[in-house]
Amino acid sequence: MEEQIKVKLLVDLTKYAEGLVEGSEGYTVGSKGMWSRANDNFVTVCFPKIATLDVLWKSLEIIDEEYLKKVEESNKRWVKQLKTAKCVELHVGPRGGFRSLQFEYLDDNNIVNHYAIGFKNKADSIVEIFKANNIKIKEVIDD
């Protein structure tokens, strides 16, 4: 069973179920509905005594303090691991367009991990951490 996360609705969804007004609180129950099973932009949310339905993540605010603490701790651990990065390569196309970011880092057990990311926004945030920590980034032009 997936972890239940307390959420608050940021939009009015009364056209789907009476009582689903902005501010309604519920909890996630995983990917149970048609939309959430097919698309990770959605999650199935149970709004007690109102309805259980698929909702866009961007229409929800996570209000679960315990979950938010876990995410913060995980992010701190990730940044600490990124500071150990070596063999950092920013792969770009022949005209300079982003292709991928690849590097090695040490995890909490001092095991070398290889990491590659093809999402530019996420790669950009990682590159900022590398720059702030004076980690050399080699640009590689792919054909």
**Of 1.10.540, 1.10.8, 2.30.30, 1.20.1270, which CATH number belongs to 6-63?**
2.30.30
Predicted TM-score (pTM) of this structure: 0.77
Q: How many CB atoms lie within 10 A of CB 55?
A: 26
* CB hemisphere CA count around 85 (13 angstroms): 27
Which regions of the chain carry the CATH code 2.30.30?
6-63
pLDDT digit string, tens, across residues 13-59: 999 999 999 999 999 998 988 888 898 899 999 999 999 999 999 99
